[in-house]
Amino acid sequence: MADISNATTSKPQGFFRGWWMVIGGFLIMATCYTIFVNCIPIFQSHMVADLRVNVSQFNLGVSLCTIMAIFASLLFGRLADKASIRLLSGITVIVSSLVLVLFSFVQEIWQFYVLCLVAGLIVVAGTRLLISVLTTNWFNLRRGLAISIALSGSGAGGVLLSPLISAMIVHYGWRPAFLLLAVICLACALPIALIFFRNRPSDVGLQPYGAGQSEQAVVDRSPDPNVDIAIGWKILGKNAGFWVMILGFIMMGVINGAIITNSVTNMTSVTLGDQVIITGGHDAIWAGNVWSLYLGVVIVAKISLGAIYDRFGLRAGTILGTVTCVIAAIALCFPTTDFGPIIAAVAFGFGTCMGTVTPPVMAVKLYGKKDIGLITGVLTAFQLLGAAGGAVLSGLLFDHFHTFVPAWIMALIAALLMGLALLVAIPIAHHLVEHCRECGALLLDEDGREIPATPAPAPPVAADDGQV
């Protein structure tokens, strides 16, 4: 029989099992996610030269991965609310390792494209989305902190893997580097997911961390009101404010797609056919160290951003993310200097967290837990759409101008639009929640399920005394 010793307590005694979800999520993000998102740029210039393609052709592969992830996010969003996350995560890790092995055997660009499609279908959508939903289900208190710790694995993994990959490529080539990553991915990410992952605390007779306590009263002292009623996708799909928020995340995707895909090459050089284009002029090891710095900042930034959301609210976190993205876009325009790439790495380390931490946190803070998997999947899908566009457009701009400066100008404009859209969406969401509350929306339990309305008592019936 399931352990129900903590089911009636509002705060678990001892080590709460939900932290295993955080640890497992951290390891998956540190391997599967960061390899396919944050470490692929390290391979860009080497694969472009070896396969004799141009930058936009390589970036097209990244975009195909992202485009496939758009549709997969919608699928995984629905599955996360119903299917076993333990099973889905196990499949994700195994496929990640297999794709990395096959990457090492690529001889033609079309083979790279096919594998990118598979990676987008399973890996990108099956990592951060599942982890975001899983952590949201297990935590009521410290939710922002728990989500940000789990997702910060992408930074920790990048810090460790970036210099390792750079050294492997320099000394042994990019193909052995992919094989090494496949082994790391399988060994580090699979065990905890298979042993500990469960969709909800109630699956093992527990309640979410801090069940029955108010976030505002205990940990979350932010000005954002707690949403304890059922909103759900049927209402949000028709709400203009929700689509304004989606516009903001599309712009965040454009920023990530442009900056993540091209930052390493922006610091070094690239060979297009027989022409060597010096972009930043730094060597690969120096660029790898700067990229490692960026990913190290991501660790601190993701945890800090979650804490900022818990303490100061969505507006403060959004303003911070917008300002840092703007600073990063400006600094990237000076790749031949030492200070430009380093300032960009530090600033974008904070700004990029808007693409991972913010969607699940903003969704649950603005609209509650009902259909949270589907809603997070929709937000992720549109953000990935922006990322695909950002990667392709930045590659085309570089191939035309032979400099990344036009791409950074595009990222700067996208950052300003992102901040504006997300800030506008917040008050619209608050009005929607109040309207739904006034209209009698159902309350949600601690697991995010609707509490059936209590029927009104039947009027008393007069006793029959036998008289006509």
What end-to-end distance do the CA atoms of the chain give, in Å?
A: 58
Place of tokens 């930052």: 263
Amino acid at position 360, single letter: P
- Among 211-220, 347-356, 370-379, the least confident range: 211-220
If you search the block for the tokens 């790749």, which residue do you land on? 335
Residues 6+ apart with CB under 8 A from 434: none
How large is the average pLDDT for residues 155-159?
A: 84
Number of domains in the chain: 1
Q: Tell me what the mean pLDDT of segment 429-442 comes to.
A: 88
Amino acid at 403: T
Instruction: Label residue 210 by pLDDT band (50, 70, 90).
Output: confident
Helix, strand, or coil (residue 450): strand
Predicted confidence band of residue 215 (pLDDT cuts 50, 70, 90) = very low
Q: What is the pLDDT of residue 410?
A: 97
Q: Is residue 245 assigned to a domain? A: yes
pLDDT score at 462: 52
Q: Give the position of tokens 């969003």.
A: 77
DSSP 272-336: ETTEEEESS---HHHHHHHHHHHHHHHHHHHHHHHHHHHHH-HHHHHHHHHHHHHHHHHHTT-TT
* Predicted confidence band of residue 8 (pLDDT cuts 50, 70, 90): very low
Q: Tell whether 144 is covered by a domain.
A: yes
Q: Rounded to 5 degrees, what are φ and ψ at 271?
A: -105, 120
Instruction: Look at residue 271 and give its three-state secondary structure.
Output: strand
The label of the residue with tokens 């396919």 reads 36
7 vs 159: which has the higher pLDDT: 159
Token code pair at residue 433 = 């929640």
The pair phi, psi for residue 139, each rounded to 5°, is -130, 130
pLDDT at 447: 63
Domain-embedded: residue 37 = yes
256 has pLDDT over 90: yes
pLDDT at 225 over 90: no
When pLDDT is cut at 50, 70 and 90, the band that residue 217 belongs to is: very low
pTM: 0.73
Q: Is residue 10 part of a domain?
A: no
In a domain, 465, yes or no: no
Give the residue with greater pLDDT, 331 vs 52: 331
The confidence score (pLDDT) of residue 211 equals 67
Per residue in 111-152, pLDDT (tens digit) is 999 999 998 888 766 787 888 888 888 887 777 788 888 888
Q: For residues 82-111, b (16+ Cβ closer than 10 Å) or e, as one string?
A: eeebbebbbebbbbbbbbbbbbbebeebee
Centre a 10 Å sphere on the Cβ of residue 132 and count the other Cβ atoms it contains.
Answer: 29
Of 66, 47, 67, which is closest to residue 57 (Cα–Cα)?
47
Got the DSSP string for 163-177?
Answer: HHHHHHHHHH-HHHH
**Residue 219: pLDDT band by 50, 70, 90 thresholds?**
very low
Work out the pLDDT band at 467, boundaries 50, 70, 90.
very low
Give the pLDDT mean for 450-455: 71
Residue 426: what pLDDT?
Answer: 94
Alpha-carbon gap, residue 165 to 161, rounded angstroms: 6
Q: What is the CATH number of the domain that holds 271?
A: 1.20.1250.20
Domain that holds residue 106: 18-201+221-438
DSSP string, 344-398: HHHHHHHHGGGGTTHHHHHHHHHH-STTHHHHHHHHHHHHHHHHHHHHHHHHHHH
User: Is residue 262 included in any domain, yes or no?
Assistant: yes
pLDDT surpasses 80 at 45: yes
Percentage of residues in the chain with pLDDT exceeding 90? Answer: 35
The confidence score (pLDDT) of residue 127 equals 84
**9 confidence band (pLDDT: 50, 70, 90):** very low
Would 115 be classed as within a structural domain?
yes
Contact 256, 127 (CB under 8 A): no
Instruction: Specify if 446 maps to a domain.
Output: no
